Amino acid sequence: MYTLNVNGVTYQANVTDAETPLLWVLRDVLGLTGTKYGCGIEVCGACTVLIDGQVEHSCVFDVSSAVGKKIVTIEGLSATNSHPVQKAWIQCQVPQCGYCQSGMIMATEGARRAGHHGNEILPELKNVCVCGTYERIRRAVKTL
């Protein structure tokens, strides 16, 4: 049993393997399905969450390493899409299929929390978007 702080809520996660990726605990145990599985090898960024304010890929972050840390998923930014990054994404009509967007938004928010704004955020975004909405992503990021 692991005690996790996710989006300001304390959860008890009944997981037997300490090396279970946080991604699967978030999705399959806690039911927080906004964080997506993409590649499983820390390349695409679809699984991006913030852990203690830092961008992390939950597909390779062990659940045991998450104990005692503050985890923020896409669900934790705003239930009403009123977070500044979510508003920028809506204003610039960023998503096409949308699959990668929760990770892209979380990576953007991680850069913002690190003190980056506008064009300073762009070098921090290494996530992959198969639909190729990079120009719309750039437009949205420049508004922040």
Its CATH architecture, for the domain 84-142, is: Orthogonal Bundle (1.10)
Its CATH architecture, for the domain 2-75, is: Roll (3.10)
Going by pLDDT thresholds of 50, 70 and 90, the confidence category of residue 46 is: very high
Please give the model's pTM, rounded to 2 decimal places.
0.94
For 65-117, how does the pLDDT look when each residue is reduced to its tens digit (9 = 90+)?
999 999 999 999 998 989 999 999 999 999 888 899 999 999 999 999 999 99
How do the domains of the chain map onto residue ranges?
2-75, 84-142
Flag whether pLDDT at 11 surpasses 90. yes
pLDDT (0 to 100) of residue 79: 86
Contact residues for 64 (Cβ-Cβ < 8 A; gap 6+)? 2, 18, 19
pLDDT averaged over every residue in the chain: 95
